[in-house]
A = this chain, B = another copy of it.
């Protein structure tokens, strides 16, 4: 499915989330109307308001779900990997890539439609994003300090590595030949090379 299991609401509320996710990903928040979402679910548009007080709340829940999934996977990756900076970086990149291969629509909406909700409602998601960003930067900093990495600028390297994984949501899908694990393996290698890790050859 398009949304993580377990954390996604059941029943009509869950079906609304799935429908809104599909439409927001394709047309954007303002490009998909309340009536479009209701039609996709197969209910009347008025029924939506028995589940969400406003259209914006549907988007806000999707954005929150997406960022929570990213944060959780990045946290677990960092915790499960050993202390070696290269292992940390590899685990974090793999986790980031796999979130984006597993939930590309959710990642697109979470990253792209943040401007459509109020700053109050965006703040919790931004905090989760910042936490994930810090995990990556910490691994890079530690690697540079230990001499395991060699980068011209840690900040730019962090941005660059983060950009790689983020963008996966834009092109990964059934129309391309790579499996999720092929992409993850390749991108881990790219990230280690980008960080100047002496080990990997292609």
Identify the A interface with B (CB < 8 A). 26-31, 112, 115-116, 150-153, 155-157, 159-160, 163-164, 166-168, 171, 177-178, 182-183, 185-187, 189-190, 193-194, 196, 201-202
- In the complex, which residues of chain B have a beta carbon less than 8 angstroms from the beta carbon of A193? 193-194, 196
- In the complex, which residues of chain B have a beta carbon less than 8 angstroms from the beta carbon of A189? 152
Is A160 a contact of B190 with CB atoms below 8 Å? yes
Tell me whether A27 and B115 are in contact in the complex, defined as CB-CB below 8 angstroms, given that A178-B156, A193-B193, A194-B193 are known contacts. Answer: yes
Tell me whether A28 and B30 are in contact in the complex, defined as CB-CB below 8 angstroms, given that A167-B163, A189-B152, A190-B194 are known contacts. Answer: yes
What CA separation (Å) do A189 and B150 show in the bound complex? 12
What CA separation (Å) do A101 and B196 show in the bound complex? 25
A112 CB, nearest partner CB in chain B, Å: 7
**Would you call the interface of chain A mostly helix, strand, loop, or mixed?**
helix
What CA separation (Å) do A59 and B177 show in the bound complex? 32
- In the complex, which residues of chain B have a beta carbon less than 8 angstroms from the beta carbon of A187? 156, 160
What CA separation (Å) do A196 and B201 show in the bound complex? 7
Is A26 a contact of B160 with CB atoms below 8 Å? no
A186 CB, nearest partner CB in chain B, Å: 5
- In the complex, which residues of chain B have a beta carbon less than 8 angstroms from the beta carbon of A171? 159
Nearest-CB residue, chain B, relative to A149:
B202
- In the complex, which residues of chain B have a beta carbon less than 8 angstroms from the beta carbon of A31? 28-30, 115-116
What CA separation (Å) do A186 and B163 show in the bound complex? 14
- In the complex, which residues of chain B have a beta carbon less than 8 angstroms from the beta carbon of A153? 178, 182, 186
